[in-house]
Amino acid sequence: MYYSAPMLPDVDYTNILDDEEFNTSFSLVTVHDAENLEPLVINLITHQAHTSYQHFDEYPINSTIKSHEQKIQNLEHLREKTPGSILNQTMRLGRFMMDVLEELKNNQPINRFLKPKQTELFCNQESLIKIALYLGGKQCASWRETLDGLSDNYVMNQLAIQIGWLIGYFSHLDNKEPNQTQYFDYGLPLIRLYREYVYKMMHAYVDAQNRESQKEHDEAEALLTEIRDVSEKTRAQTLPAITEFQKQMAIAKAGIEKTLIELMNQGCAIKILLMSLFYFWFTLEAPLHAQNPEAIDKEDPFLHMGNIIDLVKKTASTLPEPELSPEIQILNQKMQQLKKYISNPESLDTVLQEQVENQAANVNTTIHAVTSEYLKQDFHPEAVANALFSHWLRMSVFFGVPESHWQKNGLLF
């Protein structure tokens, strides 16, 4: 038997093969347009409270029935007339709630009458809402799995039905119709209180997150500016370029570095920058050493990345430890600091696919544009390729490669 009630939107219990499973999955949830759902939830609770009371009034089990046998008989009739297992669930929850309230009452301090009058039932509203949020949050994963793609409204619908039945049940125990009790007065305002308080808490959380994100963004941007300044100082200490090839490579390195910092300031993922640098380096470098350059067009550059990384590591291990100037040591320190502002560069699993695609398109277009400009100016392809390779090695420090290894790799150039 299915519930007869003014259901919330997108709720149809005929789609559920076994509505029993929903009787143990109650939790408080927030959804978009919650304010619009509020009057519908209140209407459902009110409707079910009267429905519940009518069932109990037809087959009473309260103090008006003195015969235990008659109560048992009425209870059996109720089980036949009421839908699903709502009756058992209601009486079990009702017993639990009364036990909890009795326990709270019995554990009040002896000197409670000497204290200021308590205005709340058993705890203040803020504590109550936080308890509800905590318990509801713990159930989210469970009931979402149970819903298996159905609307979240099923959970709120079921919860509203259960609240209504509890109100009808307690009204029956008081031998009064629901409208003659204070259960509506106590219960229904809590729906708005919960919704408004959740909104305030979430709004405050988002504001705090935005402030923290802005702070981290500002710190990272300032750090990138410092890195650029220190990098320029370290380049000024290097031996001056003598040959035209060296000059071209120095110009290309500086220009690509400026481009990469701008992309990082835009929030582009380090892994995307790394892969793009490798791709454009390979497509420039490989044809210069191939017997058949045209055959390189059919190669997948990333299939060769593992072997190239192994070769770089092997080569770097044979190089001597470099003597670092104070400026390079400062640069190393700041690069290490920058790592904490970069979220998990080794994985893009947590990033939306659309965002990855947009970033990749932006990065590839930008790096292709800057390298193509140098080639149009008749820069030697290998000078541009060396600049790309140098920055690819530089980016490797974000993937667990120590700064000292990067400095040794720098000797290659």
Task: Tell me the DSSP string of 64-122.
Answer: T---HHHHHHHHHHHHHHSSTTHHHHHHHHHHHHHHHHHHHHHTS-GGGGGSPPP-SSS
For the segment 346-397, what is each residue's pLDDT rounded down to a tens digit? Answer: 555 555 677 888 899 999 999 999 999 999 999 999 999 999 998 998 887 7
Radius of gyration of the chain (CA): 35
For the segment 188-207, what is each residue's pLDDT rounded down to a tens digit? Answer: 988 887 777 777 776 776 77
Torsion of CA 41, 45, 51, 54, to 10 degrees: -160
Q: CA 398, CA 384: separation in Å to the nearest integer?
A: 23
- Residue 366 and residue 243 in contact, taking contact as beta carbons nearer than 8 Å: no
Q: CA 94, CA 8: separation in Å to the nearest integer?
A: 24
Return the pLDDT at 192.
Answer: 83
Q: CA 199, CA 407: separation in Å to the nearest integer?
A: 51
Percent of the chain clearing pLDDT 70 (strictly above): 76
The structure tokens listed for 176 are 């009064």
Q: What is the mean pLDDT of residues 310-333?
A: 76
First to last CA, the chain: 79
- Residue 322 and residue 410 in contact, taking contact as beta carbons nearer than 8 Å: yes
Q: Rounded to two decimals, what is the model's pTM?
A: 0.48
Provide the pLDDT confidence category of residue 405 given band limits of 50, 70 and 90: low
| Mean per-residue pLDDT over the chain, rounded | 79
Name the DSSP class of 51.
Answer: H
Q: Which amino acid is located at 296 in the chain?
A: I
Q: What is the mean pLDDT of residues 27-36?
A: 58
Q: Which amino acid is located at 357 in the chain?
A: E
Question: Which residue in this structure is represented by tokens 């978009």?
Answer: 32
Question: Which residue in this structure is represented by tokens 């929903």?
Answer: 22
Containing H/E element for 380? none
**What is the three-class DSSP state of 282?**
helix
DSSP letter string, 303-351: GGHHHHHHHHHHHHHTSPPPPPPHHHHHHHHHHHHHGGGS--TT--TTS
Q: CA 12, CA 159: separation in Å to the nearest integer?
A: 15
Q: CA 163, CA 140: separation in Å to the nearest integer?
A: 19
The structure tokens listed for 62 are 């309260």
Residues near 205 by beta carbon (within 8 Å), at least 6 away in sequence = none
Residues near 371 by beta carbon (within 8 Å), at least 6 away in sequence = 252, 256, 280, 284, 384, 388
pLDDT surpasses 70 at 31: no
Name the DSSP class of 36.
Answer: H
The residue ranges of every structural domain in the chain are: 13-204, 239-410
**What is the three-class DSSP state of 170?**
helix
Containing H/E element for 270? helix 270-289
- Residue 45 and residue 162 in contact, taking contact as beta carbons nearer than 8 Å: no
The structure tokens listed for 339 are 């790592």
Provide the pLDDT confidence category of residue 29 given band limits of 50, 70 and 90: very low
Return the pLDDT at 265.
Answer: 82
Q: What is the mean pLDDT of residues 70-75?
A: 93
- Residue 271 and residue 348 in contact, taking contact as beta carbons nearer than 8 Å: yes
Q: How far is CA 349 from CA 139, 230, 401, in A?
A: 25, 33, 22
- Residue 268 and residue 403 in contact, taking contact as beta carbons nearer than 8 Å: no
For the segment 130-158, what is each residue's pLDDT rounded down to a tens digit? Answer: 776 677 666 766 777 777 777 777 888 88
Return the pLDDT at 74.
Answer: 93
Q: How far is CA 199 from CA 129, 135, 188, 194, 206, in A?
A: 12, 17, 18, 8, 10
